Amino acid sequence: MKINKITNVDLFTLFNSTLFFLMVKFVYYDRFITYRGAANIHEFFFYATVIYAVILFFWIKLRHMKIPVYILILFEIMILLHFAAAFVEVNGHRLYDLRLFKVRFDKVVHFFNALLGTIITFYFFQKNKCHITLFMMMMTVFSVLGVGAIIEIAEYIVTLTVKNNGVGAYNNNMLDLVANFLGSLTAALLFDLKLKKYVKGKDE
């Protein structure tokens, strides 16, 4: 029987699945109860299920591809930004809730996640020999914005099904999308001006 070779995507998925499990078991659950209360535990399990479903989806889709280490590092930065914002405390407050120049750090995370996600998308386009035209850049920005919108839809489902949830009001969701759009647009501009020669669609 042929044994499939373990890929860097397998290791990446195993590491982050284990990391998320440990964070949930030893940190996230207790902090969720502290911040949101035991009555809202359904919200916690909803988010955990969605995250594991996303991990499984990307593992199935990407495990047979030879993905450069730098792309996986960009993915890891996106993941660690979220973890840091949720778990790191400054003066008794989550990093997510702090403000930089009157902007919540939550929006900073959205901005950089969209920026990195757009660069990663450009990589996959080039790997599949797609020429990155202005139209393709626009479609990429809209696609990344669409992924962000799916996340906001998931949060909207939480607002309908979980009382006293921590999602935030309409203004919060729209600012999330604005941050996503600005981050993705910034990545497109950087790509067009500086990054084309670095983001190659070739295997390492």
Find out whether 62 and 9 touch, Cβ atoms under 8 Å: yes
**Contacting residues for 147 by C-beta, under 8 A, at least 6 apart:** 117
What does the longest C-alpha to C-alpha distance in the chain come to?
60
CA 189, CA 97: separation in Å to the nearest integer?
29
Q: 């973890």: which residue's tokens?
A: 83
Which of 3-7, 30-34, 50-54, 140-144 bottoms out in mean pLDDT, i.e. has the lowest?
Answer: 30-34
Q: What is the reported pLDDT for 204?
A: 44
pLDDT band at 43 (very low <50, low <70, confident <90, very high): low
Find out whether 122 and 132 touch, Cβ atoms under 8 Å: yes
| pLDDT: which is higher, 130 or 199 | 130
CA 151, CA 50: separation in Å to the nearest integer?
10
Which of 37-46, 65-74, 136-145, 190-199 bottoms out in mean pLDDT, i.e. has the lowest?
Answer: 37-46
User: What is the pTM for the complete model shown?
Assistant: 0.72
Tell me what the mean pLDDT of segment 15-25 comes to: 83
pLDDT band at 91 (very low <50, low <70, confident <90, very high): confident
CA angle 33, 35, 39 (to 5 degrees): 45
Q: Give the pair of three-digit tokens for residue 34.
A: 């502290």
Q: Where are the domains of the chain?
A: 8-195
